[in-house]
């Protein structure tokens, strides 16, 4: 197993509204920043994570490659998910041993639409979408399945909001839990509408030590696959 480390990270200042930037304009600053920090101009592999449904067009992530500069052709991939999954794919790619660096980036503009509607439209159109499930109702079902303690949920909200204030790029959100949204969840339990982008550079072995004074080596990582149908899953342990 090859050693793989994070050697650079950058993110945009996240906003709760559309700033008028296109996706390439949103991504370009963070790409330039991680290039500056590492001194790299090219990467052995590039992987992005985003949701085409947010842009309302298939393969919308392709336009984001304008921020990367995909000519001459590069080794590139995309996941219809967040950048955490893209990071996993990049980590696996580095295990092959033929490349030593990887660029991972994620982006999204959830302010452009009704997010709950978009999440419903992503579901299986025959069996799941007609139920009207979205990310909030499904999260509420999970919370109920584990008998989530309201005091524990409130503590998580407070801890997360406090940690967010330590990040100058994150939204500054109030500590109040707020009104009920979907039982047993309240407004503070729900992720806010956010537009932004982030980028990470991974490097393997000695290359990581060359690029960064204190590389953050990934000592554990995992990937899980669950049954397609939500009703087959054990919600008390589902991711």
Q: What is the DSSP string of the chain?
A: ---EEEEEEEE---BSS--S--HHHHHHHHHHHHHHHH--S--SEEEEE--HHHHTSTTTHHHHGGGT---S---EEEESS-HHHHHHHHHHHHHTSS--EEEEEEEEEGGGS-HHHHHHHTS-TTTTGGGT--HHHHHHHHHHHTT--HHHHHHHHHHHHHHHHTSTTS----S---SEEETTEEGGGSPPP-EEEEEEEEEEHHHHHHH-SS-EE----------SSGGGS-TTT--
Residue-by-residue pLDDT tens, the chain, 239 positions:
899 999 999 999 999 999 999 889 999 999 999 999 999 999 999 999 998 888 777 888 888 888 888 788 899 999 988 999 999 999 999 999 999 999 999 999 999 888 899 889 888 899 888 988 899 999 999 999 999 999 999 999 999 999 999 999 999 988 888 899 999 999 999 989 999 999 999 999 999 999 999 999 999 998 888 888 888 889 988 87
- Domain positions in the chain: 4-226
pTM for this entry: 0.91
pLDDT for 123 equals 87
Q: Fold for 4-226, please state it.
A: Peroxisomal Thiolase; Chain A, domain 1 (3.40.47)
């Amino acid at each position: 197993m090859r050693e793989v480390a994070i050697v650079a990270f950058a993110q945009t200042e996240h906003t709760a509204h559309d700033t008028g930037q296109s996706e390439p304009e949103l991504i370009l600053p963070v790409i330039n920043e991680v290039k500056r920090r590492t001194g790299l101009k090219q990467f052995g592999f590039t992987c992005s994570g985003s949701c085409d449904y947010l842009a309302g067009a298939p393969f919308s992530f392709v336009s984001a490659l304008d921020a990367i500069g995909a000519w001459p052709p590069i080794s590139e991939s995309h996941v219809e998910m967040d950048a955490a999954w893209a990071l996993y794919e990049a980590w696996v790619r580095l295990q092959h041993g033929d490349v030593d660096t990887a660029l991972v980036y994620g982006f999204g503009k959830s302010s452009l639409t009704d997010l709950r509607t978009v999440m419903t439209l992503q579901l299986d159109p025959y069996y799941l979408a007609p139920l009207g499930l979205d990310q909030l109702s499904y999260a509420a079902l999970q919370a109920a399945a584990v008998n989530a303690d309201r005091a524990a949920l409130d503590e998580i909200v407070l801890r997360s909001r406090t940690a967010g204030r330590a990040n100058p790029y994150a939204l500054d959100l109030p500590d109040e839990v707020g009104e009920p949204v979907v039982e047993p969840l309240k407004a503070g339990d729900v992720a806010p509408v956010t537009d932004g982008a982030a980028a990470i550079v991974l490097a393997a072995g000695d290359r990581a030590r060359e690029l960064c004074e204190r590389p953050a080596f990934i000592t554990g990582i995992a990937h899980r696959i669950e049954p397609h149908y939500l009703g087959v899953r054990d919600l008390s342990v589902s991711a």
